[in-house]
Structure 1
Amino acid sequence: MTAAARRASGLTPLVLVCLSLVYVVWGSTYFGIKVAIETLPPLGMLAVRFVLAGALLLAFLRLRGAPWPTAREWGASALVGTLLLGGGTGLVTLAERDASSSVAALVIAVSPLFAALFGRLWGERTRGREWLGIGVGLLGIALLNLGELRATPQAALLLILAPICWTFGSQWSRRLPLPAGLMGSAAEMLTGGGVLLGLSLLLGEPWGTPSAASLWALAYLTVFGSLVAYSAYMYLVAHTRPALATSYAYVNPVVAVLLGVGLGGERLGPLGWVALGVILAGVLLVAWPRPEAEAAP
């Protein structure tokens, strides 16, 4: 593919780097969350993760001369942070108390479908090949759920609500007056983390003595899952089409299953491995560049 074709399709080098980070890092965070909440309260753990990551990023940006967000930008950031981090990540983390890290990532793979539907509310067009890719990806999820991966009804409900919150917040964020650049990510993590902290205190989550494994998992989630991957995702939301920005949901299950099977003792039968191939086919259909003629606005 020529450089001109990559620009026309939206697959610039920076977009490709951000996609790679979101694909791999977020795929590993499902297993990281499972390890972290073994000895840490789910919502409290997330609050520490996002408040710490947001504060570090905010301090770094301020030292580089980035302007402080306005009151209007803080309000918009609170809306997005609540939907993405409180509703999206928070519900997934609560579900992982009763579901494997693999099945959590698999159910979240419906995100591109919700993204396409919500995008249409704001007049964005989803191409036929993207719809085909979404359908193929969902077929892969159906095959996986015929296998050995299961979740309790409550966990399944939380995992269905999570991508609705996440994708609606993602699409809405494109129309809200958010702070420019990474400052938007910092403000969203701080406000979303504050909401999670309030919920943790309201619910009276108990804090015990965390294990070393949980603390290492929290550190990984904070640095790579939040500072690195979340910032990369918000760049994709602002600069790419919805189906491509949320295509991570088809690759994350592959990474999550491999880690769950390899490190967490989870099982995946032959049908599951076939389903992973179907999922990869779906993401290729969604992410494959449009012809230059179609990519032009």
Structure 2
Amino acid sequence: MKTLPKPVLLALLTVYLVWGSTYLAIRFALLSFPPFLLMGTRFLVAGTVLYLWLALRGNPAPNLRQWRDGAVVGVLLLGGGMGLTAVAQQYVSSGMTAVFIAAAPLMFALWAGLFGDWPGPREWTGIVIGFGGAALLAGGGEFRAQPAGVLALAGAVTCWTFGSVLSQKKLALAPGAMGFASEMLAGGAFLVVAGWLQGERLGASFDSRALLAWGYLVTAGSLAAFSAYMYLLSKVKPALASSYAYVNPVIAVLLGVGLAGETLGARELLSMAIILGSVILLTTAKATPKNTNASAAASAASSTT
């Protein structure tokens, strides 16, 4: 960990801890919010707040090309990645979902390799070990799936990883946090429209726990963690940026132990040790310089995390 710059370490910890806790927050938010409108409104509100805050501070608005590229990334990550995951969860078990999400770093590596940035041996080792640990952790649950759910999960992981690598390699996003705001606005709007087309509607009354969870998802899950994730994509290799897929289930399990009275068995303890080993490998792998609009991104993103 000592080899990582402090802003990168802070962003990693934000993504690990906050996204790991959103599993529980989403469970409570779904008491009053349908899936697509839950995801769409949280990012639409977060993107609006971030955009207005930056505009008041004098940050220039994205130009037309930057809006277009931000919309491409936002729709792929939020619309495709999160939207298709919401669809898949109607047809597959949580164990199957966890395994597919744990495969994200492998797909990250393949997409990045196609753009000429293959992981090194240490990173490949960390990716494979991390996938094994996450699969072992999920192995205690039930594995069932309908074909539609498997296709939706595969599409979700493909959209999320491809959009993430595109944001690194090809697209001209607005500098810093303004780029993050454009992605959240576009992706959130896409999810809200998709929810309405699916027939989703908000009820007249809301459970207080659901409202608190929704507020947490807006502030911590979207404003802090999503911005931290996009910052990581601008600063580190894909293998390290995607390591959240291994750590988040561990955080979720620990929260379940602490808040819901769940217990840890030998399988869970072993899988956590394996995942910790993979993260150590990934965080200590030799970094390579990244070519992005990074100096503006660094200060803006670190301020949002």
**TM > 0.5 fold call:** yes
User: Shorter-chain-normalised TM-score: which range?
Assistant: 0.7 to 0.9
Pick which of 123-132 and 263-272 moved more.
263-272
Quote the residue 1:173 is aligned against: 167
1:265 positional shift: 6.4
Q: Which amino acid aligns with 2:240?
A: L
Paired residue secondary structure (2:174): coil
Quote the residue 1:188 is aligned against: 183
Quote the residue 1:226 is aligned against: 222
1:59-74 aligned at under 5 Å gives the runs: 59-74=52-67
Residue 36 (1) aligns with residue 29 (2): yes
Quote the residue 1:162 is aligned against: 156
Quote the residue 2:39 is aligned against: 46
Q: CA separation in 2, counterparts of 1:24 and 1:99?
A: 25
Identity among equivalent pairs (%): 46
The alignment's TM-score, normalised by the length of structure 2, stands at: 0.86
**Aligned residues, how many?**
287
Paired residue secondary structure (2:83): helix
Quote the residue 2:245 is aligned against: 249
Quote the residue 1:211 is aligned against: 207
1:162 positional shift: 2.2
Paired residue secondary structure (1:228): helix
Quote the residue 1:239 is aligned against: 235
1:97 positional shift: 5.3
**Judging changes above 3 Å, is the alpha-carbon distance between structure 1 residues 184 and 27 closer, same or farther for their aligned structure 2 residues?**
same
Q: CA separation in 1, counterparts of 2:213 and 2:289?
A: 43
**Judging changes above 3 Å, is the alpha-carbon distance between structure 1 residues 104 and 289 closer, same or farther for their aligned structure 2 residues?**
same
How big is the alpha-carbon RMSD for the aligned residues of Structure 1 and Structure 2?
A: 2.4
1:284 positional shift: 1.6
Are the equivalent residues in 2 in contact too, given 1:100–1:151 (CA < 8 A)? yes
1:1-297 aligned at under 5 Å gives the runs: 6=3, 11-96=4-89, 104-105=97-98, 107-150=100-143, 152-153=145-146, 155=149, 157-174=151-168, 175-208=170-203, 209-264=205-260, 269-290=265-286, 295=288
Cα shift readout 1:115-157 (whole Å, capped 9, x = no counterpart): 1110011100210011111111111133234323545445555
The alignment's TM-score, normalised by the length of structure 1, stands at: 0.88
Paired residue secondary structure (2:234): helix
Q: CA separation in 2, counterparts of 1:20 and 1:95?
A: 28
Q: CA separation in 1, counterparts of 2:262 and 2:158?
A: 27
Pick which of 32-41 and 232-241 moved more.
32-41
Paired residue secondary structure (2:103): helix
Paired residue secondary structure (1:178): coil
Q: CA separation in 2, counterparts of 1:274 and 1:65?
A: 50
**Judging changes above 3 Å, is the alpha-carbon distance between structure 1 residues 261 and 94 closer, same or farther for their aligned structure 2 residues?**
farther
Cα shift readout 1:157-204 (whole Å, capped 9, x = no counterpart): 544432221111000012101100000010000000110011011111
Are the equivalent residues in 1 in contact too, given 2:91–2:145 (CA < 8 A)? yes
**Judging changes above 3 Å, is the alpha-carbon distance between structure 1 residues 296 and 70 closer, same or farther for their aligned structure 2 residues?**
closer
Are the equivalent residues in 2 in contact too, given 1:101–1:257 (CA < 8 A)? no
1:220 positional shift: 0.2
1:287 positional shift: 1.8
**Judging changes above 3 Å, is the alpha-carbon distance between structure 1 residues 276 and 159 closer, same or farther for their aligned structure 2 residues?**
farther
Gaps of 5+ in 2: 291-305
Are the equivalent residues in 2 in contact too, given 1:109–1:253 (CA < 8 A)? no
Q: CA separation in 2, counterparts of 1:187 and 1:119?
A: 23
Q: CA separation in 2, counterparts of 1:56 and 1:110?
A: 33
Are the equivalent residues in 1 in contact too, given 2:95–2:138 (CA < 8 A)? no
